[in-house]
Chain A
């Protein structure tokens, strides 16, 4: 009985992974040469990107501040004020900004994307597109895919800057470390472009995870409104798990 359950679970994982791979191949096939609906792309970039700015800004500012609060005791004890900029920058750029931004975008954009696609599936809107001789991958999926990956990349850059800003001003307020000292620590040479690039590579990987899971579970929705709820739940779970697993693997691969 237990072996049967494990077997069924394994088959389900294999089936989902296979379906996501096929979906990724279909999307990539629409990119060269480009066969993506430009209006949908712009609309999704606005909806997913621009409208995510406030929540990402709040998250990033407070994340930077929290990092300084956590480091405050050690910095004071050892008088390591000069290293505050480096410490905050190292953690933010390589790990915290891409990870937290991905989790925020997964919750806001990924879940919403699945709900929208799932609703379109159960109300036959996707079938209606096909009957109108319009390829749903070019019209609906590829623009969302590009928008999610681009959004996460841009939001990570934005979050990097704001988190460091939050850290710098919290350092000043709590520890008396001036923004200039913080900046000097940040640019002292202990950090380099590789640290920024690591975070940005992660943001692209996380963007692919969110785009793939949200589009796959949306398109695979069955069973009316309850099915849409199940699909959203599956997206949130799979995205979060995928982000952490791939964060580990990417950190491992890019670690120096």
Chain B
């Protein structure tokens, strides 16, 4: 379970000046085994929220818990232990430039498990097949398109079968067919592992077909938190305009 209670985050510009309030008093809860979709216009604080969950940045105020562990007060060593059960896909994929595709995907297993080379290779091949990238194992990330990098990022984020998985735009740059396949794959895996998933995506049509709950961020505030059906039927003007892609409205 992931819990946010009154979380705020500000960044102070390096050259001085007024702080940039990225999150303001955000409170919500993602139950165990829930696929939570996080939506909202650009620069509304979604990616920062994901980084707060995993403890990459600390909040300016508020309280964050992941499976009962206080992320805010945990030491770096405690956070490292917590991260063993977390998988994450970054917005820019964050593939390691100096490793091949296969080495990138295998990286979590090589570093964190005692699996044999053969077992790891089998898992890597299976992941590559899942994201329709079979045969790309010896390629370097620099030789891949944006969409291909995204798929390798998804394969790496899911290979360790983490109990909590965070996806930042898993379908950005993908064609509609691959995008649909990726969403279905992520949903299947989440079901199979009963993982807790937080997914940020701008592809609302597909995102809302797989989520259990949805939260909408707007200017650093969580303005909606409810089930997917409640989100689709919401009369809150900003939520309604964003979900239905209306040009008229307060956004």
Binding site for B on A (CB under 8 A): 119-120, 123-125, 127-128, 130-135, 222
Contact of A127 with B56 in the complex, beta carbons under 8 Å: yes
Bound-complex Cα distance A127 to B84 (A) = 14
* Distance in Å: Cβ of B105 to nearest Cβ of chain A: 12
Contact of A131 with B86 in the complex, beta carbons under 8 Å: yes
Q: Which 6 A-B pairs have the closest CB atoms?
A: A128-B94, A124-B94, A133-B83, A131-B88, A133-B80, A124-B90
Contact of A132 with B92 in the complex, beta carbons under 8 Å: no
Contact of B88 with A120 in the complex, beta carbons under 8 Å: no
Residues from chain B with Cβ under 8 Å of A134 in the complex: 111
* Distance in Å: Cβ of B157 to nearest Cβ of chain A: 9
* Distance in Å: Cβ of A116 to nearest Cβ of chain B: 8
Contact of B94 with A123 in the complex, beta carbons under 8 Å: yes
Number of interface residues of B (CB under 8 A): 23
Bound-complex Cα distance A124 to B97 (A) = 11
- How many cross-chain pairs have Cβ atoms below 8 Å apart between A and B? 47
Question: B36-56 CB contact bits vs A (8 Å, 1 = yes)?
Answer: 000000000000000100101
Contact of A132 with B112 in the complex, beta carbons under 8 Å: yes
With both beta carbons as reference points, the residue of chain A lying nearest to B85 in the complex is identified as A133
Residues from chain B with Cβ under 8 Å of A124 in the complex: 90-92, 94
Contact of B90 with A127 in the complex, beta carbons under 8 Å: yes
Residues from chain A with Cβ under 8 Å of B96 in the complex: 120, 125, 128
Residues from chain B with Cβ under 8 Å of A120 in the complex: 96-97
Contact of A132 with B56 in the complex, beta carbons under 8 Å: no
Contact of B97 with A132 in the complex, beta carbons under 8 Å: no
Q: Which among A119, A134, A222 has the highest number of chain B CB atoms within 10 Å?
A: A134
Q: Which among A133, A134, A135 has the highest number of chain B CB atoms within 10 Å?
A: A133
Question: B108-143 CB contact bits vs A (8 Å, 1 = yes)?
Answer: 100110000000000000000000000000000000
> Given that A124-B94, A125-B97, A127-B56 are known contacts, is A132 also in contact with B51, CB under 8 Å in the complex?
no
Q: List 7 A-B contacts (CB under 8 A).
A: A124-B90, A128-B88, A130-B83, A131-B86, A133-B81, A135-B76, A135-B80
* Distance in Å: Cβ of A232 to nearest Cβ of chain B: 16
B247 at the binding interface (Cβ < 8 Å): no
